[in-house]
Structure 1
Amino acid sequence: MSLLAWIVLGLIAGFIGSKIANNTGQGLLVDILLGVVGAVVGGFLFNQFGQPGVSGVNLYSLVVAVVGAVVVLSIYHALMGRRRVL
Structure 2
Amino acid sequence: MGLIAWLIVGGVAGWLAGLLVKGAGFGIIGNIVVGIVGALLAGWLLPQLGISLGGGLVGEVIDATIGAVILLLIVLLISRR
- TM-score interval for Structure 1 and Structure 2 normalised by the shorter chain: 0.7 to 0.9
For 1:6, the equivalent position in structure 2 comes to 6
Structure number with the bigger relative contact order (C-alpha 8 A, sep ≥ 6) is 2
* TM-score, normalised relative to structure 2: 0.85
Larger Cα-atom Rg: 1
Unaligned runs of at least 5 residues, structure 2: none
Higher helix share: 2
Unaligned runs of at least 5 residues, structure 1: none
CA deviation string 1:32-77 (max 9, x = no partner): 0000000000111111023458965x11111110000000000111
* TM-score, normalised relative to structure 1: 0.80
What SS does the aligned partner of 1:22 have?
Answer: coil
Measure, in 1, the Cα distance between the counterparts of 2:13 and 2:48.
Answer: 20
The CA RMSD measured in Å over matched residues stands at 2.3
For 2:74, the equivalent position in structure 1 comes to 75
* Paired residue total: 81
